[in-house]
A and B are shown apart, each in its own frame.
Chain A
Amino acid sequence: MVLFTGAALLIGVLIVGFMWLSRPAAPTVNDLEPPAEEIPAGAMIDGRTMGSPDAKVTIEIWSDFQCPACRTFAMNLEPRTITDYVVTGKVRLVYRDAAFQGQKSSSPYDESVESAAAARCAADQGLFWQMHNWLFANWNGENEGAFAAPRLTAIATAAGLNLAEYDACMATGDKQAAVISETNQGVAAGIGQTPTLVINGQALVGAPRAYADWAAYLDQAYAAAN
């Protein structure tokens, strides 16, 4: 028994020790991944909005760049939604900040608010959706440094932003305040989970997994609006 206990303790400690030594380092500015999808031509971008103002269906996407389910929606469902519904004039997307995942961190630097502010600074340069795609492509853990300030700067550079304008924009703190304000507005309106997709006023909490389910939902909303 003593032998078994000793061996088990030794193996357990060795495994944990190996994991501790090989634990992932915080993401660096050198390990950026480009997004898989590009914004298609004809997407009619206006700041944080994409699609025709005359579209019958408007989807408000209440989202956080640090939310895994938002990332899944943005990377798996959004590209085909843009191709099939936005470019064709049926759907307009409106991005809204519900940036509350960073509040779980004990750090005063809020990665959710800062990443959303960075995206708003990109919007000022007409590059919100490019920045949106780059942010989601390069997030890999909540409050683990993926959106630390130097990395956000690197992401902004990779997304094609003018860095001087970006730095000046981030330094004012106005965008961060706007993110917090919109997040609070969302919470007051009942947005408690991300993503929440408000489709022509109807809230859908969470996103469907399969594109077919999502497309059926959009077809229904489009038919109801006509």
Chain B
Amino acid sequence: MITRRVAARPLLGLHPAIILAVLDVIGLLVAGYLSVVELSGGVPTCGIISGCEEVAKSQYNNFLGIPVAVFGVLLSVVLLSFALAWWKTDIYGLLLGHYALSLVGVIFDGWFLYLQVFVIQAVCIWCVTYEVSLLLRFLIALLVYLRQPRPGAAD
């Protein structure tokens, strides 16, 4: 079933994959900025809102010795690939893949937001931007799924 092609029902007059892809690019840019800064030994700039430095330098900002932003880049690249592939092919499984992977990301981001608020006691606005973009991607993918004709129903 997941390899079947089903024409996507437009969302806001667009193929939903385009909306997901735009959000994926936003997430990729945010995570990319954080990754480049942190891997080069710097700390991200928060502007007038403080908190990014504290989060970036926290010991919780690394997983297996790698800044968590790098995982955000990887996730966004995979999600963007799924969105673009779904846009071009309308293969139903790519929508489900985007939905499931963004759900994994949302669970992780919920945990990281908990760490920021209750453990590190500082909130990084860049991280929150990424988290909001990921939550939107998950919710949109879910909404699209609920509105989308099932491959079985289309036959």
Asked whether, in the complex, the Cβ of A142 is within 8 Å of the Cβ of B58, the reply is yes
By secondary structure, the B interface counts as helix
Query: Which residues on the A side are within 8 Å of B111 (C-beta)?
Result: 16, 19-20
Asked whether, in the complex, the Cβ of A8 is within 8 Å of the Cβ of B122, the reply is no
Question: Is B104's beta carbon under 8 Å from chain A?
Answer: yes
Asked whether, in the complex, the Cβ of B121 is within 8 Å of the Cβ of A143, the reply is yes
Query: Which residues on the B side are within 8 Å of A144 (C-beta)?
Result: 58-59, 120
Chain A: interface residue total (CB-CB under 8 A): 30
Asked whether, in the complex, the Cβ of A11 is within 8 Å of the Cβ of B104, the reply is yes
> Could you say which of B17-25, B76-84, B94-102 contacts chain A?
B94-102
Asked whether, in the complex, the Cβ of A8 is within 8 Å of the Cβ of B54, the reply is no
User: Which residue of chain B lies nearest to A104 when distances are taken between CB atoms in the complex?
Assistant: B121
Kindly identify which residue among B54, B97, B107 contacts A16, using a CB–CB cutoff of 8 Å.
B107
Kindly identify which residue among A11, A24, A67, A72 contacts B60, using a CB–CB cutoff of 8 Å.
A24
Asked whether, in the complex, the Cβ of B57 is within 8 Å of the Cβ of A141, the reply is yes
User: Which residue of chain B lies nearest to A15 when distances are taken between CB atoms in the complex?
Assistant: B108
| Bound Cα distance A16, B115 (Å) | 11
Asked whether, in the complex, the Cβ of B99 is within 8 Å of the Cβ of A4, the reply is yes
Question: Is A187's beta carbon under 8 Å from chain B?
Answer: no
Query: Which residues on the A side are within 8 Å of B6 (C-beta)?
Result: none
Q: Would A12 and B57 be within 8 Å (CB), given that A19-B63, A72-B42, A209-B42 are in contact?
A: no
Question: Is A69's beta carbon under 8 Å from chain B?
Answer: yes
Q: Would A4 and B58 be within 8 Å (CB), given that A105-B121, A142-B120 are in contact?
A: no
User: Which residue of chain A lies nearest to B102 when distances are taken between CB atoms in the complex?
Assistant: A8
Question: Is A5's beta carbon under 8 Å from chain B?
Answer: yes
Question: Is B128's beta carbon under 8 Å from chain A?
Answer: no
A69-127 CB contacts (< 8 Å) to partner B: 69, 71-72, 101, 104-106
Q: Would A1 and B96 be within 8 Å (CB), given that A24-B59, A72-B42 are in contact?
A: yes
| Bound Cα distance A72, B57 (Å) | 11
Question: Is A7's beta carbon under 8 Å from chain B?
Answer: yes
User: Which residue of chain A lies nearest to B53 when distances are taken between CB atoms in the complex?
Assistant: A68
- Please name 21 pairs of A and B residues whose Cβ atoms are closer than 8 Å in the assembled complex, sorted by A: A1-B96, A1-B99, A12-B104, A12-B105, A12-B106, A12-B107, A19-B63, A20-B111, A68-B56, A69-B43, A72-B43, A104-B54, A105-B121, A106-B121, A141-B59, A141-B60, A142-B54, A142-B121, A142-B122, A143-B121, A144-B120
Question: B interface vs A, CB < 8 Å?
Answer: 42-43, 53-54, 56-60, 63, 96-97, 99-101, 103-108, 111, 120-122, 145
User: Can you name 13 extra interface pairs (CB under 8 A) apart from A8-B104, A12-B105?
Assistant: A8-B103, A13-B107, A15-B107, A23-B60, A68-B53, A68-B56, A104-B54, A106-B121, A142-B54, A142-B57, A142-B121, A143-B121, A144-B59
